[in-house]
Structure 1
Amino acid sequence: MTIRRHFVDGPFGQVHYRTCGNPAAKARPLLCLHQSPKSSREFVTILPHLANQQTGEERYVIAVDSPGHGESDVPLAQADATVPNYARSAWAVVDALGLLDSAGTIDILGHHTGAKVATEMAWQRPGDVAGIVMVSALVLTSDEQAEFEHMFTEVPLDEAGTRFQGQWDAAIKHRGPGVTLEMLAASVAENNRAGDAYEWGHKAAFAYNAHFPDRVATLDHAITVLNPNDMLFELTPRVAPLLKNGRVVDYQDWGFGFMDVDPQGAAKAVLEAL
């Protein structure tokens, strides 16, 4: 199934997105939101499985690059790189495609930072969102947040390539079962599309942590949190008591990169949750 790439004007420049499936499909469109500092590229392997549903029902799937990620324009100032603004940028794509005109609502799949953006999208326009699937949902103590912020502090460029060596070492350390070196190389390459702004997405997610528990707790939407066995596995279950209409489902056999390693199984889990 063909994946197509497009641009639309957004609040911070051009927004890049990928589409797959039939725009006239009867099932609700599914919007996919990536982690930081990645892009819609992380959904390329799973998109055809999400669009050609195993139930036999087609679905139109849209994967968006947040501002400063992938091929979307970088905001002019770091102050504009926020989860609420990422949500507004994603809504600009939804509105430009007229998705709500045909379906009334959309479903959302959000991965790590994308889970925060999905929460904010539903908080901004609750009547326009139906179901939400998150991959991990981080609720941190202040000490844990400080540790994560230190871990993801930007590294200045130098002739030794320290920034890139550190990213590669981290990718090797945290790669999930079945992830190949080629997959890791593609993932690390996405980290650096925004140049020195490559950590703005993590900073946006950490800043949003102050609002996330309260905002996710207000949502009446059906929410399923998929919890792969990655570095957030022990932390994600904390979100469960906050969900009015949701659940956390552990996936011990999945780790970082599971959508590339097991796209059919990952798509099945997402679609069944929706």
Structure 2
Amino acid sequence: MARVKKSYVDGKYGQLHYRIAVPETPSALPPLYCLHQSPKCGMEFEALMGAIGDERIVVAPDYPGYGQSCKPPEEHLATVPAYAEACWQVADALGHDNLALFGNHTGSKVATEMAVMRPGHVGNIAMVSAALLTDEERAFFADYFTPIPLDDAGTRFTTMWQRIIERRGPGTTLEMLAQSMMMNLLGGEEYEWGHAAAFSFAEPFEEALKTLPNRITILNPADDLTDCTRRAIPLLKNGEVVECPQWGYNFMDVWPTEVAALLRSYL
């Protein structure tokens, strides 16, 4: 397993934190950038980075306001394009000009936006799920992920934990769930900014799926977005949806070697 290290680069709103795994033997494969879901951070890719980082450089940035990255001063600055720009700032600081991308939920939208921002500098793209939502679904999720105020009873935290337990994927341990909870907490009072950013980034994401020349592979595990992910099938200009019913939430923690093997086929 590759060793995962952590470091910082300067970003627009302060420091940007990232994780990186570098193989002992140099690889001709482009660096793989892993883009996290909301409200998590690059920590969700650590097991996968260990499994795939012995054959290529793998980088997992924390978006502004998540993990250990400094947050934007106001919510309207927390957008999918801002997250994509921050990831390019990490890549520029590391001297990475051509990338492969792997996005998870919110990270799927960040991945396509990175490719739109710099045509010709992104190769193949893989992603977990595609939030192609109806207006009704978007309203439901926006309400579901409305920030929960702090109170003496700890309602925010008990609700977070209950939701994590309800979505427990096959093979997920309590320790994995506790790590998921910890990543939520690192978002602080701004923990739901990323969900709002993702829900508002609808038409640009759909247009990117239709028009990007990059090969796009969408993994479709058994989660809250399984059905809407299939709406991407007729949209993809160059790609496919790969059904993964054996996997649920936290599948990268449970089966990192198997996920790494699958990604090798597409990235």
Report TM bin, short chain. over 0.9
Counterparts of 1:110 and 1:116, CA distance in 2: 7
1:11 paired residue number: 12
Query: Does the CA contact (< 8 Å) of 1:21 and 1:48 recur in 2?
Result: no
Percent identity reads 48
Counterparts of 1:73 and 1:197, CA distance in 2: 11
- Aligned-partner residue type, residue 230 of structure 2: P
Counterparts of 2:115 and 2:233, CA distance in 1: 18
- Alignment root-mean-square deviation, CA: 1.0
Q: Deviations over 1:144-183 (max 9, x none)?
A: 1000101111000001000000000000101100101111
Asked if residue 39 in structure 1 is aligned to residue 32 in structure 2, the reply is no
For 2:68, which of 65, 68, 71 is the aligned residue?
71
Match of 2:203, SS state, is coil
Alignment of 1:230-241 (within 5 A): 230-241=223-234
2:32 paired residue number: 30
Aligned-residue offset at 1:212: 1.3
Query: Does the CA contact (< 8 Å) of 1:14 and 1:73 recur in 2?
Result: yes
- TM-score between both structures, scaled by the size of structure 1: 0.95
Alignment of 1:24-173 (within 5 A): 24-52=26-54, 58-100=55-97, 105-173=98-166
For 1:266, which of 238, 243, 259 is the aligned residue?
259
Aligned-residue offset at 1:218: 1.5
Aligned-residue offset at 1:204: 0.5
Q: Deviations over 1:190-237 (max 9, x none)?
A: 101121100000000011113211122110000100111111111101
- TM-score between both structures, scaled by the size of structure 2: 0.97
Counterparts of 1:219 and 1:194, CA distance in 2: 31
- Aligned-partner residue type, residue 79 of structure 1: H
Counterparts of 2:90 and 2:174, CA distance in 1: 33
Counterparts of 1:120 and 1:246, CA distance in 2: 17
Match of 2:147, SS state, is coil
Aligned-residue offset at 1:27: 1.1
Aligned-residue offset at 1:60: 0.5
Alignment of 1:165-204 (within 5 A): 165-204=158-197
Counterparts of 1:26 and 1:196, CA distance in 2: 42
Give the unaligned 5+ runs of structure 1.
Answer: 53-57
Aligned-residue offset at 1:239: 1.0
Asked if residue 228 in structure 1 is aligned to residue 228 in structure 2, the reply is no
Number of corresponding residues: 265
Counterparts of 1:15 and 1:216, CA distance in 2: 28
1:55 paired residue number: none
